[in-house]
Chains A and B, each alone.
Chain A
Amino acid sequence: MIEFLQNLIDALALGSIYALTALGIGLLFGILRLINFAHGDMITIGAYALIVPSADVTARLLIGSWTPAAVIIAISMIVVVAALITDAAVFRPLRTASSPTLMISSFAVSYIIQNGILIFYGARPKAVDFWSGANVQVYIGELRVPLLQLITLVVTLVLMVALTLFLRRTPYGVQMRAAAEDFRMAQYLGVRGNIVIGLAFAISGILAAAVSMLYITQSGSLTNQMGVPLALFAFVAVVVGGMGNLTGAVVGGFVLGLIVTMLQAYLPSDLRAFRDAFAFGVVILVLLIRPAGLLPARTTIERV
């Protein structure tokens, strides 16, 4: 039982990372119909911003050595600016482009960022010692839990509540939900499209920055492609949860975290190397049973 509970906490922590990433992707998909694979590279940018640019294998901390509050603010600002630049330089000129065009462009942005990092930081993975104090274990009764996992859960909860309040209670949040449902109609009512989209990019940047810091603290290593699998799993989470629905993205993230962690824990040891194949097998099963995802987006009911 204790073992199962520990696996469950692992699953929640991993699910949190997927859920935060999926929220960033889901938010932009809702408004722009953009499947933004470059979102993973925003996470990479946030991680690399912690260290001194150099080709050394062991990274020296730059921003990462500041006080935690300063780190959080600086990394968030850097990733938000990076996200806004991708919008201004790439996605804004493509506003009227089709969804596939936008997605291909996001692949291009993704590769440009990965190669840009290569130029300044070199190709080899780097070890980094960032907030490693958070990896201590704390005891909750008989449960032994890494402090970082608790932090991850709390941060995720706080960000989700903040995002929900923003979307429900503030004028810009309401305009964002309206734009996600019917962008053109929102414009007809005076909602400024570019401001709402810019805000969505900024929020996705904050979510990516949070994932950067949580993920690096846990993994302690940097590569220029570290964000790619996160974006891929998060995209799968968005689809499993139900596209165009932020609650679905969060649920999908946690479901995926649960599937991956439990397979890792309970698959026979010979098969664990193939964990992801089993995980995606489960994903296919879920989609066969519920093709629109676990929580399909509610669409406007056309009544006569």
Chain B
Amino acid sequence: MAPLLELENLSVRYGDLIALRDASLTVSEGEVVCIIGPNGAGKSTALAAIAGGVTPVSGAIRLDGQSILGQRPEQIARLRLSLVPEGRHIFGTLTVAENLQIGGYMLGDRAAARSEMERLLDHFPQLRERLRYPAGRLSGGEQQMLAVARAVMTRPRLLLVDEPSLGLAPKIIDQIYEILLELRQREKMTLLINEQSSARILKFADRVYVLRSGMVQLEGRAADLRDGEAIRHAYFGFGGGDRSLVETAA
């Protein structure tokens, strides 16, 4: 059976800059896959390419074995593939409720969207209290939760999350991951998550890809990589190294 999502030898360039070079990756139904790598490794580019936001120069992107290359972002969203972009991209002048509704319009019928929103808000009690607020007035952590909730409103088969912990306090990051864990357990949601740090990811993910300089350096089951040595090597591009340095980066 074809995996849910498959990238094959994908390359993306921005002018002269090669952001992604022959990257291959698969995500199967029900899996949680994480891409880790330093800043500028091409992680965000990979997710944007999947969501239709950037056009690759070569390679293939397949959903259920069917190519989705060249489709517009809104067409890909309608294939139930939803992106939570880096930096959240909340509609700040819209209310929290309107932000959520945007994700729900795709469902077609209003009653379905409303019941989806009701159900979803059980996972996000803080958002329920602020439904009539302009979303721009939410705290960073609340905005991140709204970004995740808004993407989940489209009832995605695959949720792409780009650096959910970026710029957030550790306590808030814990909350975000608790929610992602809940989505995974209760909704059986398939997740593809980007992160710069590996510590949390290795406990959370089923499989991990390490990306550096636009290339996949390492791929493996999270359980097999927990000692960190292979990841360190792939992440920094040199062996051994100071363990504490990695923990800081991680």
Contact = CB atoms under 8 A, between A and B. Distances in A.
Given A301-B136, A303-B138, A303-B143, A190 B93 contact: no
A187 B73 contact: yes
A304 B140 contact: yes
B103 to A, nearest CB: 5
Contacts of A301: 92, 136-137
Contact of B91 (A178, A193, A303): A178
Interface stretch (B15-23, B75-83, B123-131): B75-83
A76 to B, nearest CB: 27
Interface stretch (A77-85, A169-177, A213-221, A257-265): A169-177
Contacts of B105: 171, 175, 190-191
A169 to B, nearest CB: 11
Contact of A189 (B87, B93, B151): B151
Contact of B102 (A189, A302, A304): A189
Contacts, number: 87
A278 B27 CA distance: 66
A296 to B, nearest CB: 12
Interface string B91-104: 11110001101110
Contacts of B89: 182, 184-185
A187 B103 CA distance: 10
A177 B94 contact: yes
B53 A192 contact: no
A190 B77 contact: yes
Interface string B111-155: 000000000000000000000000011111001000000110010
A191 B102 contact: yes
B40 interface: no
B41 interface: no
A299 interface: yes
B85 A188 contact: yes
A174 B85 CA distance: 20
B100 to A, nearest CB: 10
Given A177-B94, A304-B167, A189 B53 contact: no
A185 B167 CA distance: 20
B72 A187 contact: yes
B176 to A, nearest CB: 14
Nearest to A301: B136
* Interface residue tally on A, bucketed by range: 20 to 34
B2 interface: no
A187 B77 contact: yes
A175 B94 CA distance: 10
Nearest to A193: B74
A300 B98 contact: no
A52 interface: no
A71 interface: no
A187 B89 CA distance: 12
Nearest to A196: B74
B250 to A, nearest CB: 20
Nearest to B110: A171
B249 interface: no
Interface string A181-207: 110111111111100000000000000
Contacts of A298: 92-93, 136
A181 B77 contact: no
B77 A177 contact: no
Nearest to B150: A189
Contacts of B82: 188-189
Given A189-B82, A189-B103, A189-B154, A300 B92 contact: yes
Please name the 5 residue pairs, one residue from A and one from B, whose CB atoms are nearest each other, closest first.
A300-B92, A190-B106, A190-B77, A187-B73, A185-B89
18 contacts: A171-B105, A174-B98, A174-B102, A175-B102, A181-B91, A185-B85, A185-B89, A185-B91, A188-B85, A189-B82, A191-B105, A298-B93, A298-B136, A299-B92, A299-B136, A300-B93, A300-B136, A302-B140
Given A177-B98, A178-B99, A299-B92, 17 more contacts: A174-B101, A174-B102, A177-B91, A178-B94, A178-B98, A181-B91, A181-B93, A182-B89, A188-B51, A188-B83, A189-B82, A189-B106, A191-B74, A191-B102, A193-B72, A298-B136, A301-B136
